[in-house]
Amino acid sequence: MNIALLGYGRMGKEIEKIALSREHTIVHKIQGNITTYDFTNVDVAIDFSIPTAAFENITHCIQQQIPVISGTTGWLEKYDEVVALCEEKNGTFIYASNFSLGVNIFFEMNSYLAKMMSQLEDYNVTIEEIHHTKKLDAPSGTAITLAEGIMQHSNYNHWKLDKAENDDEIPITAKRIPEVPGTHEITYTSAIDSISIKHEAHNRQGFALGAVVAAEWIQGKTGVFSMKDVLNI
Ligand SMILES: NC(=O)C1=CN([C@@H]2O[C@H](COP(=O)(O)OP(=O)(O)OC[C@H]3O[C@@H](n4cnc5c(N)ncnc54)[C@H](OP(=O)(O)O)[C@@H]3O)[C@@H](O)[C@H]2O)C=CC1
Ligand SMILES: O=C(O)C1=N[C@H](C(=O)O)C[C@H](O)C1
């Protein structure tokens, strides 16, 4: 595949390594103003840029009929607009707050646990995420996806950064510690005990591999997909 990297920071560089090891070619490493690049020979664009650039990057590719994989977090208020454009243009798009296989298994565990806990009123849930100090957004996209998974199966209706103010809010704590690639923990606490599940990334390889696998999987397909589709879980 000929890949255009939209964003060539920590993730862009990690994706390049994995893509080259799987015999793909990087045709562009785009760090700004996407409109100046020629997409004629591009099979797929992989966007790991910054929250303020993701929407323009993604919509530009959809307009040019280039399939897009996006892992950028912090721009999701415009997700529905991207879906609408994709449908209008018969385009191809995958967003995932987290592309790693481990976290996608963890998402399933989170839903299963939320279902079991939904009848147990003595327990309150909290989410904690820890990331490196260069991260621009808080809470992490993964923490938001985890909160959404809990809300689907419980009486919680919102998430709230730091302290919850109402009973139907899931509090999310975001900690920033140098060099941490990404840790997420969900804890249910009662007066009697606590139950926790945790995912800890040791490096960025899992995120990058998942994004490249998604780019390979999406070839020849049209529509809006998720990592659940890619991994068939
Ligand atoms: N879904 C997932 O699995 C994962 C998602 N992420 C997310 O991916 C994103 C990138 O993370 P990370 O690589 O660590 O961040 P970095 O800051 O290391 O990289 C972002 C890069 O985007 C560049 N950039 C700035 N403006 C644009 C633009 N208009 N178009 C393209 N690129 C641009 C930046 O350039 P410059 O420095 O010159 O501004 C920088 O090199 C974040 O939103 C992060 O949360 C991260 C890991 C996993
Ligand atoms: O910024 C990061 O580094 C990460 N961002 C993603 C997120 O916001 O969930 C995924 C991963 O945890 C690393």
Same domain, 134 and 197: yes
The stretches in the chain having pLDDT less than 50 are none
CATH number at residue 33: 3.40.50.720
- What sign for the dihedral angle of Cα 158, 162, 165, 166? positive
Strand order in the sheet with 158-161: 158-161, 169-176, 124-131, 183-189, 194-200
**Quick one: which atom of ligand 2 is closest to the CA of 136?**
1
pLDDT digits (tens, 9 = 90+) for 124-158: 999 999 999 999 999 999 999 999 999 999 999 99
Residue 160 DSSP SS3:
strand
Residue 39 DSSP SS3:
coil
Give pLDDT, residue 62.
Answer: 98
Pocket test for ligand 2, best of 10, 13, 142 (most atoms within 8 A of CB): 142
Structural domain containing residue 124:
101-201
Rounded-to-integer distance, Cα 180 and Cα 212, Å? 22
Catalytic residues: 131, 135
CATH number at residue 107: 3.30.360.10
Give me the percent of the chain exceeding a pLDDT of 90. 99
Same domain, 147 and 189: yes
Which ligand is in closest contact with the Cα of 32?
1
**Quick one: which atom of ligand 2 is closest to the CA of 182?**
12
**Quick one: which atom of ligand 2 is closest to the CA of 144?**
9
Same domain, 35 and 71: yes
Which ligand is in closest contact with the Cα of 10?
1
Q: Is the distance from the beta carbon of residue 98 to the nearest atom of ligand 1 less than 6 Å?
A: yes
Q: How many domains, the chain?
A: 2
Same domain, 83 and 106: no
- The answer to whether residues 35 and 76 touch, using CB atoms and an 8 Å cutoff, is no
